Amino acid sequence: MTDEQKFLFDLNGWLLIPGVLESEQIALIKEHLEQLKNNPDQLESKYRHCYAGPVAELHDHPVAVDILRCILGKDINEKAYGFRLDGCYSQYRETGNGGLAPHGGGPNVNPNFSYQCKNQMIYSALTRVVWELNEVEHGKGGTLLMSGSHKANFTVPKEHRVAESFLFDTYSCPPGSLLFFTENLCHAGDTWQMPDPRMAVFNAYTSHQAQFHKSSWNPETIAEWPEKRQSLVRGVWHADFSESRPPKLNDWYGDDNKAY
């Protein structure tokens, strides 16, 4: 993560990295999401999830990992990340479809929404990573982001808790772009106005020591992932003092150590 990216993420609460994915990878992921929508029964059950198949490559894509290490936590060791994949959903929204009402922003002591920056170190708490798979033109349906509201000292006033508020920023980007935002940022879904559907993967990440969403990962899907990617869905704890001192570290995924 560059100094400029850190500055912008801290200042605004969000960061866009345009054009990360190649067209072949985008096509594979879109095909998977199309199949899930139109013919899910033709997919083997272990691939019948938005986080499965070619989408799984996104969960620890090197560009995402580089940023997540800086804003959530560095690796535990060579086998395990210091952050976890807390959830994943996909959007397939046709032209004219509305989005979620504004939420988040303002003071929050809940550790899952407690954005912090101290001594030039960021802790973004629950962090959303959005992969835009189709083009987004400015103001035509990209996520609405109220820059700075992740560390506001006052609740977002009700007149600004509407998608029309002039405080909302947004972005334009080519297919395969990557948007990060901290979930305490006030944000909303906008009406999708592009001719192609909004196809996007919404990943949520936390520190490896925190969990917000209840898990529902299919173990057969996870079994096919490389070991380090599996660590994204391991149990939620840091140190086990029950058998040894120094403690056993949380650096593996398995039946005995997975998130529920």
Ligand X SMILES: O=C(O)CCC(=O)C(=O)O
Query: What residues make contact with ligand X under the rule CB under 6 A?
Result: 99-100, 143, 187-189, 202
Report angle CA 219, 66, 240 to the nearest 5 degrees: 50
Contacts (Cβ under 8 Å, ≥6 apart) of 51: 59, 85, 88, 217, 221
Pairwise CA distance, residues 28 & 16, whole Å: 22
Decide whether 6 or 84 has the Cβ nearer to ligand X: 84
Query: Smallest distance from the beta carbon of 196 to ligand X, in angstroms?
Result: 15
Beta strands in the chain (DSSP E): 14-17, 83-93, 116-118, 121-123, 127-132, 144-145, 177-182, 187-188, 198-207, 239-240, 248-249
Query: Smallest distance from the beta carbon of 140 to ligand X, in angstroms?
Result: 12
Q: Is 155 exposed, middle or buried (0-12, 13-18, 19+ CB in 10 A)?
A: middle
Decide whether 182 or 207 has the Cβ nearer to ligand X: 182
Query: Smallest distance from the beta carbon of 211 to ligand X, in angstroms?
Result: 17
* Nearest residue to ligand X, by Cβ distance, number only: 189
Query: Smallest distance from the beta carbon of 146 to ligand X, in angstroms?
Result: 12
Decide whether 192 or 217 has the Cβ nearer to ligand X: 192
Decide whether 187 or 234 has the Cβ nearer to ligand X: 187
Query: Smallest distance from the beta carbon of 39 to ligand X, in angstroms?
Result: 25
Decide whether 53 or 189 has the Cβ nearer to ligand X: 189
CB 92 within 8 Å of CB 197:
yes
